[in-house]
Amino acid sequence: MATDIRVRAVSREDFDAWKVLWDGYNAFYGRKDATRLPGAVTEMTWSRLFDSYEPVHALVAERAGALVGLAHFLFHRSTIQIAPVCYLNDLFTAEAARGGGVARALIEEVYRRAADAGAGRVYWLTHETNTTAMKLYDQVAEKSGFLVYRHLV
């Protein structure tokens, strides 16, 4: 039931539970072991979440006192609008909590925070194989039609 989900900003005391979710998120996307995602990346990510200079923010969802989801988002400028844009960088729900409204609650809170920050839009990416999540995404957002190209340097 979605009404028993509490979404809030992450706190420093959440590290151990956040790390379990973070590791689950990275495993979901094929970064299954520490050699695929160096510990320094996790440490820097955690650090950025509490650095007021950084544009990165984090939310966690909790149910019955346990963390069951996370969302990391950031604001950036755009060349096609004056208002900032909000990028939902990471979204993850613990496997046992999937289908219970956690991801929707996190997305809706990102929407609220983006609106409060004056952002003109929120967007995110997902892998084309993430069809279960896309069923929710199709309900709460619209597909942009853009494809992602990248080149590692």
For residue range 94-105, what is the model confidence (pLDDT) as tens digits?
999 999 999 999
Instruction: Kindly report the pTM of this predicted structure.
Output: 0.93
34 pLDDT tier (thresholds 50, 70, 90): low
Which letter does DSSP use for residue 35 in this model? T
Instruction: Give the pLDDT mean for 118-125.
Output: 96
Q: Kindly tell me the burial class for residue 136, based on how many C-beta atoms sit within 10 Å of its own C-beta (0-12, 13-18, 19 or more).
A: middle
Q: Are 26 and 37 in contact (CB under 8 A)?
A: yes
Q: Is the pLDDT of residue 1 over 60?
A: no
Exposure on the CB side of residue 144, measured as CA atoms within 13 A: 9
Q: Give per-residue pLDDT as tens, 129-152.
A: 999 999 999 999 999 999 899 988
- 2-138 belongs to which homologous superfamily? Gcn5-related N-acetyltransferase (GNAT) (3.40.630.30)
